[in-house]
Structure formats: C-alpha cells, structure tokens
Structure 1
Amino acid sequence: MSRASVLETARDTAPSGLAAETLAEALRRDIVEGRLAPGAPLRQEELALRFGTSRIPVREALRALQAEGLINYSPNRGATVTIVSDAEIQEMLEVRIALECHALRLAVPNAADADIAAARAILAEYDTAPDPAKWSAMNWAFHWALYLPCECRRLLDAIERNFKHFNAAARRKISTVAGKERPQREHHRLLDLVQKGRTEEAVALLTEHIRDTQRSIRAVARGR
C-alpha cells in the first residue's frame, strides 16, 4: 500500500482525537481486514495528523499492536504491518487446534437447535459463494458459531485473538491453498456430528480439518 493510501485509510476509518485504545482498534481492524497491507509503513507523525491527535496515543497504539504481533518495529524502517510467514501460519494453526478443539468439546453438549440452525445457514451461503475472497470470513463465522455454546468467555477471547493474528493476506493464502470443496465437506460432517452430540468424533474431525490445512501449506511451500 502506498504512503498516500495509508493516510487515506487512517482518515476514513477513525474519528479525530482518539484515545490510544480506540486508535489501536481502528488500526487493528484495518490490518485484519486488509486495508493496510503487509509491509505498509505506519509513521507516527502522519497517523497523528490524520487521526487528529498527538503522537503519544499513536505511539501507545503502535506499541500495543506490536505486542500482538500485528506490527513490526525496526530502527531503520520504523513501524510496519507484519508480514506473516508460512512458519508463523503453521504456529497459529497449532494454537487453533489447542484452543478450538477444547472449545468445541465444551460447546457440543450445550449446542441448541438455534445454534445448529445458525451454523447451517452460514454453510448454505458458503456453498454458493463463488468468490474466494469471501471464503475466509464465512469459514470464521461458521467456526465461531460452533464454539459460542462453550460459554467460556476467556477461551473465546483467546480464539478471537489468535484469529486476528491472521491478517487478510494470510487468510487469503489459507483459503486459496485449502480451496473450498474439501473444507466444506468437512464442515457439513462436523456440523452433523455436533447436532448428534458426538463430541469426541467432532473434536477428532476438527483436529484433522486444521491439520489438512497445515499439510496443504507445507506442500505449496515445497512447490515454491
């Protein structure tokens, strides 16, 4: 993304005079949703000007995003949006297995008809979506619908934080590599198992579902 584009993004997506927390959330949203591309520079003085604030809350916001792994800082280049490597994607997928499988194990006994219906509606839309750019958002919405009945807020927060480490570029890579046909078959099977209350089979399938994505990314890396 060009310098001008970074400034336009900041101006268009945040009100003036922001506190550090709100400013960090505005930048976090732009990174996760792809409006700030991997490698894009984040200059304090320019962001302060466009956000209508001093450099102090900008500095605090960038420090918070650096702690989350969304921003890198170097003495030569300053702050830039993190470029997520294949190795980092593999690590994030390992975290997905640890967190999400536990959430699913807790959620299955609590899943109500309304939860199943909500997840099935997402899959129906996913089935007919031709645009790979939308698959990642639908995939997240489906999995989130499965985990919500776990009723463990701290666990759900951890899952959401890990998801946000996948910036838009990383999520597009995962969606493109994994494709749609196999993941969707597994999504439908997973939802059927949840509906039938077959907890351990659902957890085993979810584990393999994420492992398949890891293997696909490794295969593409070997091809390069």
Structure 2
Amino acid sequence: MSIAASLGLPALGAPEREASVYEAIREDIVSGRIPANARLIVADLAERHGTSTNPVREALQQLRGEGFVVMTPNRGARVRPIDENFIRDICEIEVLLEPALTRFFVGIATDDDIAVLEATQAEIVALNFADPVRHGQLDTQFHRTMYDRHYNRHAVDLWWKHREILGAISRRLPTSLGRQAAVLREHREALDAIKAHDAEAAAAVIARHVEGSGRHIIEQMRAVRRTHHNNRAD
C-alpha cells in the first residue's frame, strides 16, 4: 500500500503538482496530513507526486536540514513531530539572528529605505489583519527590507528558511487580538528606533518581536491540542 493510501491522502492532480515536491511534502507534514513519526518512503512519495525518485530524495534532504524529517540508519526517513520544542529551537536562533541583522541595517538605512518601511507599515495598519495572506506578505516585505542587504548571505538565507517554516505553521493557527496589537506596536517602535539611528534600541525591539511571535505560536499550538483533547473526551 502506498503512503498516500495508507494515510488516506488523495492522489495529486495536475494543478497541485505545479508546486514543488518539497513544498507539497512540507505542507503535508505541517498540516498533519502526514503525521508525526510516519515513515517517508521515497517510491511512494514519487508515485503520489507524479515524479521520479530524485526530486523526492532532494526534498527529503532539504526537509531534513530544516528539521522536519529525521533520517536514521536502517530505518529511513520519518516525520519529526512539529511540537513546541521544534518552534522553541527555531525561535531561540532567530532571537539572536534577527537583532544582529537589524543592527547592520540601522547603520546603512537610507531615507528611501525608511520610506519603504513606512509605506509597508501603513498598509499593515490599514489592513488590520483582515486578510491573513496579505498580512503575511506585507510583514515579510517589512522584514526583508531590513535584512536583504546584509553582507552575510548565509545568515539571511537562514532567516528566510526559518521565516518560511514558521509561516507555514502559523498559517494554520489563529492570531489573538493581543498579538495583533503587539505586532503593530513593535513594528512602530522598531521604525522609530531606525529613524533615530539607534541600532541597539531597534535590535532590542526586534528581539522582543521575535520572542513574542514564537511564544504566541506555542500558546496557540497548546490551545489547539487542548481543544482536540476535549473534543475526543466528549
């Protein structure tokens, strides 16, 4: 029996195959369609996604590097549980990385850069979380404006990889009103510090911003788990 059949997954149609195999497998893991500790059999995944085994092997290696997949000798690849420890580990790295990227940006920020940040933040405020997809795009644009010109491309690539992972997870979780207000406030505080050329103040705001986002994701994961537990108990 294939992995799709054993997990109750439908065979993919042509439109779904337009996404990369990596993105499709990652989405199945994040969504829980492929559950924690499930074996990932290359041939079965290739059949499900209508591709050869090489793209699947490459996707699994990339997912392994991101922490979604665990590979052990003689046991193959399995899905790592997307749990609170997974989020904590990423956020502990980001709370060190993003302030460092921010400090550098403050030193090179031009009036045009600040104007872009102001315009992006104005759109975020006007949208007020009414469209989660658009908010995610604007929020990414806000941070990329600060980070993309950093000389250390490995650091920027790591930030982007973590951004994609946390975004994929948080898309399936609600954002509390308190966290929404905090995001708007923290963006404003970061902008004010950048305009004042205060690198340490901007970095401190971003550290608090990252820590708060990670804590919120973990809290929402716990809330979802409690809801599922209560529903099963009923």
Is the CA contact (8 Å cut-off) linking 1:107 and 1:146 kept in structure 2? yes
Match of 2:52 in 1: 54
1:187-206, aligned counterparts within 5 Å?
187-206=187-206
| Alignment-derived partner of residue 27 in structure 1 | 21
Q: Secondary structure at the match of 2:31?
A: coil
Note the C-alpha offset of 1:49: 4.0
**For the aligned residues, what is the CA RMSD?**
3.5
- Over 3 Å counting, the alpha-carbon distance change for 1:128 and 1:115 in structure 2 is same
Residue of structure 1 in register with 2:9 after alignment: 3
Distance 2:218 2:43 in 1: 40
AA aligned to 2:9 is R
**Aligned residues of 2:21 and 2:55 also touching (Cα < 8 A):** no
Say yes or no: does 1:92 pair with 2:90. yes
Partner of 2:114: 116
Q: Secondary structure at the match of 1:62?
A: helix
TM-score (structure 2 length as normaliser): 0.71
**Cα distance in structure 2, aligned partners of 1:175 and 1:136:** 12
Contact 2:22/2:59, CA 8 A, preserved across alignment:
no
Deviation of the 1:202 alpha carbon: 0.8
- Residue 44 of structure 2 corresponds to residue 38 of structure 1: no
SS at match of 1:40: coil
Structure 1 unaligned spans of 5+: 15-25
Q: 1:51 to 1:126 in 2, by over 3 A?
A: same
- Structure 2: runs of 5+ lacking an equivalent: 1-6, 35-39, 227-234
The one-letter code matched in structure 1 to 2:95 is I
**Which among 102, 105, 108 is matched to residue 107 of structure 1?**
105
Q: CA-to-partner distance for each residue in 1:183-220, whole Å, 9 max, x for gaps?
A: 11110121121122111111111112223334445655
CA contact (8 A) 2:170 2:217 kept: no
Within 2, Cα distance between the matches of 1:38 and 1:73? 20
Identity of aligned residues (%): 30
Q: 1:171 to 1:86 in 2, by over 3 A?
A: farther
Residue 135 (1) aligns with residue 135 (2): yes
Distance across 2 between alignment mates of 1:46 and 1:221: 30
Size of the aligned set, in residue pairs, is 210
Q: Among 1, 13, 16, which residue is 2:18 paired with?
A: 13
Change (3 A) 1:200 1:211: same
